[in-house]
A and B are shown apart, each in its own frame.
Chain A
């Protein structure tokens, strides 16, 4: 994950913990998240050419809330992960959309960064889900285990990237 988008990307972490209890809910949520971000990116692309300053921010917020509300409605209608309260995570994703657009992730020359964000989140989500599945016991389903596993995964990632960059 590139550093400039760290704050926006961090908003995905609570959702990662919440939906990684089962593979189905994890995949469904990731697809929903990518859809929302892509929709927001496309619509903001148009807005960026026509608006500036505070007007652009206002449009950014309006669009983000719309996509999130629509996604929430669709998720409810399809009973996406009935055991997972998706609503709270979607609100965070709305916030994330606004932040990421503000930081410029959806600019046309940032395609690589976008794909990287999607890939890293998919990887993290899959890793968390698989680890929790492999641990298997009822403990692994609980949120605190998710926290601990996520911490370990991030620590591992950090150690890996630091080893690769020469000191």
Chain B
């Protein structure tokens, strides 16, 4: 008898705690999804300075179709607006590096100046070209503020340009510089279309 009563108690506890967990899960499902979305977009959008936009850029993808550029491939783009006026464009670009494809997020403000570059994905050699994947990488940060005409030649010093390369990672450095230059050129050539706000929202 004692055995059965104990089994019943354990069973009741099991039912109770299962109900509690399921209930709490239902209750927290929405906040958790919202938090995840927020984290995801924050990670993606930290190329843009805080306060430089007030929309949800990820919900305003640009209709970019012709993807192939000179050295890289454009995968997509987003428009950031501040008080209704376009403030920046974030382009997602893909380029062949040393170890594989490098996916970059390149933010360009409405004056065609670079706001920032962030690596989304790469397979470069760790501690050589792989540095581009580290948050706050100084080499990537050095491109901030540059534009298509400044400097005149977008190339490594080795290729008679003016950029330093990452130590031991010529191919990675060259690929990233080409991708950034491609993105800046694309922005220049499609400026009107990229910054034009659609009237229907």
Using a CB–CB distance below 8 Å, which chain A residues touch chain B? 47, 50-52, 55, 58-59, 62-63, 65-66, 69-70, 73-74, 76-79, 82
Contacts and interface: CB of A to CB of B under 8 A. Distances in A.
Interface of B: 6-7, 9-10, 13-14, 17, 20-21, 24-25, 28, 31-32, 35, 38-39
24 contacts: A50-B6, A50-B9, A51-B6, A59-B9, A59-B10, A59-B13, A62-B13, A62-B14, A62-B17, A63-B13, A65-B17, A66-B17, A66-B21, A69-B24, A73-B32, A74-B24, A74-B28, A76-B28, A76-B32, A77-B31, A77-B32, A77-B35, A78-B31, A79-B35
Given A62-B14, A69-B21, A70-B21, A77 B9 contact: no
Given A47-B13, A58-B10, A66-B21, 5 more contacts: A52-B6, A55-B10, A69-B24, A70-B20, A77-B32
A79 B39 contact: yes
Contacts of A50: 6, 9
Contact of A73 (B13, B25, B38): B25
Contacts of A76: 28, 32, 35
A55 B6 CA distance: 7
A76 B38 CA distance: 12
Nearest to A70: B24
B24 A73 contact: yes
A128 B68 CA distance: 51
Nearest to A50: B9
B6 A63 contact: no
Contacts of A77: 28, 31-32, 35
A63 B21 CA distance: 11
A55 B14 CA distance: 12
A50 B13 CA distance: 12
Contacts of B32: 73, 76-77
Nearest to B136: A138
Given A70-B21, A73-B32, A74-B28, A62 B39 contact: no
A70 B9 CA distance: 21
Contacts of A62: 10, 13-14, 17
B104 to A, nearest CB: 22
A47 B10 CA distance: 9
